[in-house]
Amino acid sequence: MINRVAQHLSCGMHYGGNNPEAPEGHTHSDHEFMFCLDGEIDQLVDGNWNTQSKGELYFFPAGVSHNSYSRNHQHSESIVLNTGPLLLEKDEIAYQAIFNDIIQVSKPNQLIPLSNSGRNEVRKVLLNLLKEVKNKRTGHYLSLQNHLRNLLLAIMRNLDGLQSSKDLQPTPEDHIQEVLTFLKYNYDQNIDIELILDFCPLSRSHFQALFKKFTKNSFGDTLINIRLEHAQALLKQTNRSALAIALQVGFSSQSHFNHMFKKRIGMNPGQFRRK
């Protein structure tokens, strides 16, 4: 549930939503941005689940089905911006090329890639916009339009910076971050180190050492932890069987799922669901 503070901007706490057992998306006639200020949010986009983390900016183009749920019904906070009320008819044409670029870079998960500085700038712009919404001072509407322009400018300059940085030699940390991003969106697939080394230009021993150095966990433990995190959310938010959840999050069998769940969480899936 989102606490609306204005027609075109909202900021509030998410405590879940419709039952993900039978998820229902909704669409808008205008483009929408959603920035996660705190916590994690499960995003349902065109029937696929993704996890939005703190500092990430999602973009939902007009007509794209989506919905948002708070992980395990825990506190999360986000700013949601619907661009429609802020655009005049002439603006829509001028901004269409920018929105088309954002649509392309945010595919397939609707996540806009941002550097750390880009995230900070977007956060600053949106918080200033929210402040303007609440205060409604003289020139309120013009100020909101300027904030929208500043948001688009921050996004596009950040994307230009990321494009330029592609020509730079990636650091070891860049390689590990790329792997972590891959795991975040592909944890439910059949993944092993050999698959990772197909796109990560490191030797097996070098990769394992760097991964442990940067994450404090082994590759295998990290993958299991990610899968168990999603399994906990599904146990609380759906009525699916433990077997169905085990297979959905990437475990090859229910017995392996039960063993790792009990080992890491301290109880079996059924006990966790009932508590």
Nearest Cα to 79, choosing from 28, 15, 36?
36
Percentage above 90 pLDDT, the chain: 29
Pick the CATH number of 9-165 from 2.30.33.40, 2.60.120.280, 3.30.365.10, 1.50.10.10: 2.60.120.280
Contact by Cβ (8 Å): 258, 273: no
Specify the pTM: 0.56
Chain region(s) in the chain for CATH 2.60.120.280: 9-165
CA distances (Å), origin 267, targets 42, 70, 227, 232, 261? 24, 23, 16, 12, 7
Q: Does residue 1 surpass a pLDDT of 50?
A: no
Chain region(s) in the chain for CATH 1.10.10.60: 172-274
Q: Does residue 140 surpass a pLDDT of 90?
A: no
CA distances (Å), origin 13, targets 57, 224, 246? 16, 29, 29
- How many degrees, rounded to 5, is the angle at CA 63 between CA 146 and CA 48? 110
Contact by Cβ (8 Å): 218, 211: yes
Taking all residues of the chain, what is their mean pLDDT, rounded to a whole number? 81
| The CATH fold of domain 172-274 | Arc Repressor Mutant, subunit A (1.10.10)
Q: Cα(224)–Cα(257) distance, rounded to whole angstroms?
A: 9
- How many degrees, rounded to 5, is the angle at CA 258 between CA 252 and CA 264? 110
Q: Cα(180)–Cα(196) distance, rounded to whole angstroms?
A: 10
Q: Does residue 82 surpass a pLDDT of 70?
A: yes
Nearest Cα to 13, choosing from 25, 3, 21, 26?
3
Q: How confident is the model at residue 87 (pLDDT cuts 50, 70, 90)?
A: low
